[in-house]
Structure 1
Amino acid sequence: MRSGDLTVSRYSQRITERRINECLRDGSSTLDLSRLGLNAVPESLGDLTHLTTLRLGDNRLTAAPESLGNLATLTNLTTLDLSDNRLTVVPEWLGNLTALTDLDLSDNRLTVVPESLGNLTALVRLDLKRNQLTAVPESLGNLTALVRLDLKRNQLTAVPESLGNLTVLTHLDLYYNQLTAVPESLGNLTALVRLDLERNQLTAVPESLGNLTALTDLDLSGNGLTVVPESLGSLTALTHLDLSFNKLIVVPESLGNLTTLVRLALRGNGLTVVPESLGSLTALTHLDLSFNKLTVVPESLGNLTTLVRLALRGNGLTAVPEWLGSLTALTDLDLSFNKLTVVPEWLGSLTALTDLDLSGNGLTVVPESLGNLTTLVRLALRGNGLTVVPEWLGSLTALTHLDLSFNKLTVVPEWLGSLTALTDLDLRFNKLTAVPESLRNIRLILKT
C-alpha cells in the first residue's frame, strides 16, 4: 500500500469508528459513511440494529462476504445507499432486509443481481443505473410498491414480462441499453409519468403503450423505429415526446390528439411529410423537425402561435413558409442547411427572435428588414454566397455572436466595431485581406 493510501485508510478508519460510536451512544437512526474510501465495513456496524438509514456511497467496497456481511443484521433499514463502489456481486441475503424502501446500487460493476431482491416488497425506489447488467430477474415483478425504477446505462437486451406487475410505478428509465424489444405488459403500468427508452435498438414498440394515459414524458429517440403505433395518440397527458434519430418515414395523424404537448422532437428521421394534424398542438413551445427530407411543411403549423423554438435545419426547403410570419413568439429559428436562395422581407416582423440561423443555404443577399430584429443575440449567415456585409447589421446592437464564415466577403466595414455587445465574430474562409482596427476588442475567428 502506498503511504498516501495508508494515510487515507487510517484517517477513514478513525472517522468511521467515531461515527459508529456516536450513533451507538446517541441512538441515531441515520449513519453516513459515504466518501471515506472504505474497502470494508467494520464489524461494529452490525451492532447498530436500530439503524433505518445507512449511506455507504462513493467508497471502495467490493462484494466480498467479509466486507458486507455485517449489514445482514440491520433488518430495520429502510434506506441503503451502496452507490459508486466497486461491487461485482450483490449477496443473496440482501433480500432479507425486507423493511427497505430505498435501495441504491448504482455506479458499481454488477453483471447480475440476485432473485432475492424480489423479497424486498416494501421498496419504493430501486436504482441500478450504470452497472453492467445484461438481465434483471423476473422476481422484480414482486416489487409492487415500486414507484421509481432506474436501469439506465446497463447492457440489458431484454426486460422481463413481470415488470408489468409494477402498477404504481411512475418513473421507468431504460435509457442506453441494448433492448431490441419491450414487453406488451408495459402497457399495464398505467401510473407511469415518465418512460425513457432512448438509445436502445428497438425497431418497434407495442401498441399497449397507448394505455399509459398518465404519461407526461416519453422518450423513444435513438432507436431504429420505422413506425410508431397510432395508439400513441391516446397519450393525451403527454407534454414531452421525443422520436428523434429513428428511421421514421411518416408519423401517425393521431399525434394531433396530443394537445397538451409542449415539446415535440422528430429530428433525424427520414420524414418527407409531416401530418396536417400537428397544427392542432397549440400548446407547443418547441418543435424540432431538423435533419429530415422535408421539402414543404404544412400551413397548419401556422396555428402554433406559442412556439418559441422552431428547428427546420438540414431539410430540402427551397422557400421559407409564409405561415412562419404568424409565429411572433419565436425566439429561436433555425433554417440552416436547406436550399433557400431568398429570405422574405416579412421575416423582419419576428421581433422576439434572439437566435436566427440561416447558414448553409444559397443566399447572396439578405433583406434590410432583418435590421428590425433588434433583440437578436446570435445570427449565423455561415456558408452562403454573401459578397458584402449588410449595412442593416449595424442596427443589431444586442448581437453577441455573428457568424459570417464561408462566404465571399472581401471587406469588413469599420462600423461593425460599433456593435459594442459583440464578443464573437467568425470570418473564416472568406477573401479578406485585412480587418479594421475597430474590431480589436472582439474575439475574431479568422484562421482556417
Structure 2
Amino acid sequence: MPELDQPLSEITDLNLYDNMFSSIPDEVFLMHNLEILNLSGNRLQSIPPEIQTLCKVKMIDFGHNQIETVPAEIGKLAQLEDYLYLHNNRFHTVPPEIGQLDKLKYLNLSDNSLTELPAELGGLTRMVELRIMNNQLTALPEACGKLVNLRELHLKKNRLSGLPEIFGGLPRLRVLDAEDNQLLHVPESVTECTRLRRLNLRNNRLSGLPERIGRLTNLLELDLRSNHLTELPESLLEIEGLERLDLRWNHELTVPGWLQRLEDNGCIVYV
C-alpha cells in the first residue's frame, strides 16, 4: 500500500481501485473513521472477517475482483447507508446477515454465480436500487416484497421462470428489468406498481399479459420483444403516456387494429 501523509485514524476516504491487490491491506482495518472504501478492479479473493472493524463505513465498492465468499461479518457494518457494490466477482451465495444492513440504499450483486438469495434480504427496507443481473437465480424470495422504498429492480440474465406476487408491496417501483429470463407469465401484482415507468420483459417465454396492465398509467416504455405472445390486452390503450412499445419477434402475435390508436397518441410501436 502507498505511503500515507496522515495518521490512519484520520482517513475517511480511501480509493485503491485498479491496482493489483490480492488481499485487503492490513492497514485498512486500522482506519476506524473510514467512511468510503473503494477497492474495485483489484484481484481480491476474499473479504476477511476484520471488515467488521470499519464501524463507520458508509460506502463500499468491491466490484470487479475475484471474491469467492462474502463473510457474515459484513452484516456488522451498521452505518453502511449508501452503497455496497459486489458486482463482477465469483461468489455463489450471500450470507443472511446482509439483511442487517437496514440503512443500505444501493446493492449491486450482478455478474456473480448466485443461485439463490436469502429471505433476510427483505430487511433492507430503505433499499432504493437492487441489481442482481447476470447470475443463475431461479427464484426471488417472497421477502423482496418488503422492500417498500425500492425504485429499481434489475433481474436481467438469470434463470427465472416466474416472479412471486410481491409487487403490491413495492409502491415506489419505477424500473423493472427482467430481460433474458425464462418467465412464463407476468404476476398480476405488477399492475399495482402504478409509478412504473420502464418495464423490460424482452426475451422470455410470455404468452400473454395481465388484463389490468392498463393500470400502469405512468409507463413510458414497454419492451416485449422475443416472447411467445399471441394477443394483447386492450387495456394498453389506458396508458396514454406510453412512448415506446416493442413487440418484435413475437411470431404468433395477432396484431390488433386498435394499436393504431396508441400510435395516434404519439407512441412508437414496433411490430
- Alignment-derived partner of residue 443 in structure 1: 268
SS of the residue 1:324 aligns to: helix
Q: 2:212 aligns with which of 375, 392, 395?
A: 392
Does structure 2 conserve the Cα–Cα contact (< 8 Å) formed by 1:208 and 1:231? no
Read off the aligned partner of 1:437 and give its amino acid letter: Q
Give the whole-Å Cα distance in 2 for the aligned partners of 1:333 and 1:277: 21
After TM superposition, the structure 1 stretch with the greater mean CA deviation from structure 2, 353-362 or 238-247, is: 353-362
Partner of 1:277: 97
Q: Residue 207 of structure 1 contacts residue 229 of structure 1 at CA under 8 Å; is this kept in 2?
A: no
Structure 1-normalised TM-score?
A: 0.56
Residue aligned with 1:256, SS:
helix
C-alpha separation in 2, matches of 1:346 and 1:230 = 34
Q: Where in structure 2 are the equivalents of 1:198-347 lying within 5 Å? A: 198-262=17-81, 263-347=83-167
Larger radius of gyration: 1
Q: Which amino acid aligns with 1:391?
A: E
Partners of 1:385 and 1:334 in 2: CA distance: 18
Cα deviation 1:51-80 (Å, max 9, x = unaligned): xxxxxxxxxxxxxxxxxxxxxxxxxxxxxx
Deviation at 1:417, TM superposition (A): 3.7
Give 5+ residue unaligned stretches, structure 2.
Answer: none
Give deviations 1:73-116, integer Å, cap 9, x for gaps: xxxxxxxxxxxxxxxxxxxxxxxxxxxxxxxxxxxxxxxxxxxx
| Structure 2 CA distance for partners of 1:322 and 1:191, relative to 1, 3 Å | same
Query: Which has the bigger relative contact order, CA under 8 A and spacing at least 6?
Result: 2
**Distance change >3 Å, CA 424–CA 197, structure 1 → 2:** farther
Stretch of structure 1 that moved more, 290-299 or 396-405: 290-299
Classify 1:375/1:364 alpha carbon distance in 2 versus 1 (closer, same or farther; 3 Å): same
* Letter aligned with residue 205 of structure 1: I
CA contact 2:52–2:76 (8 Å) conserved in 1? yes
- Matched with 1:190 is 9
- Alignment check: 8 A CA contact 1:422 1:442 kept: yes
Matches within 5 A, 1:12-31: none
Match of 1:377 in 2: 197
Superposition pairs of residues 157-196 of structure 1, within 5 angstroms: 160=2, 163-164=3-4, 166-167=5-6, 188-196=7-15
Q: If each structure's helix is expressed as a fraction of its own residues, which one has the higher value?
A: 1
Cα distance in 2, alignment partners of residues 402 and 234 from structure 1: 45
**Percent of aligned positions that are identical:** 38
Deviations 1:149-177 (A, max 9, x none): xxxxxxxxxx75xx23x11xxxxxxxxxx
Which moved further from structure 2: 420-429 or 242-251?
420-429
Secondary structure in structure 2 of the residue aligned to 1:444: strand
Secondary structure (helix, strand or coil) at the match of 1:345 reads coil
Match for 2:30: what amino acid? N
Distance apart, 1:412 and its partner CA: 4.5
Residue of structure 1 aligned with 2:178, choices 333, 354, 358: 358
- 8 Å CA contact 2:116–2:140 kept in 1: the answer is no
> CA 1:445 to 1:200, structure 2 compared with 1: closer, same or farther past 3 Å?
farther
Distance 1:368 1:228 in 2: 40
CA separation in 2, counterparts of 1:323 and 1:413?
A: 30
Letter in 1 for 2:37: L
Cα separation, 1, equivalents of 2:151 and 2:237:
25
- TM-score calculated relative to the size of structure 2: 0.89
Corresponding residue of 1:81: none
Report deviation, 1:286. Answer: 1.2
CA RMSD of aligned residues (A): 2.0
Structure 2 CA distance for aligned equivalents of residues 277 and 368 of structure 1: 31
Can you give the 5+ residue segments of structure 1 that lack an aligned partner in the other structure?
1-158, 168-187
Quick check: 1:318–1:338 contact (8 Å CA) kept in 2? Answer: yes
Distance 2:120 2:166 in 1: 19
1:195 Cα deviation after fit: 1.3
- Aligned pair count reads 265
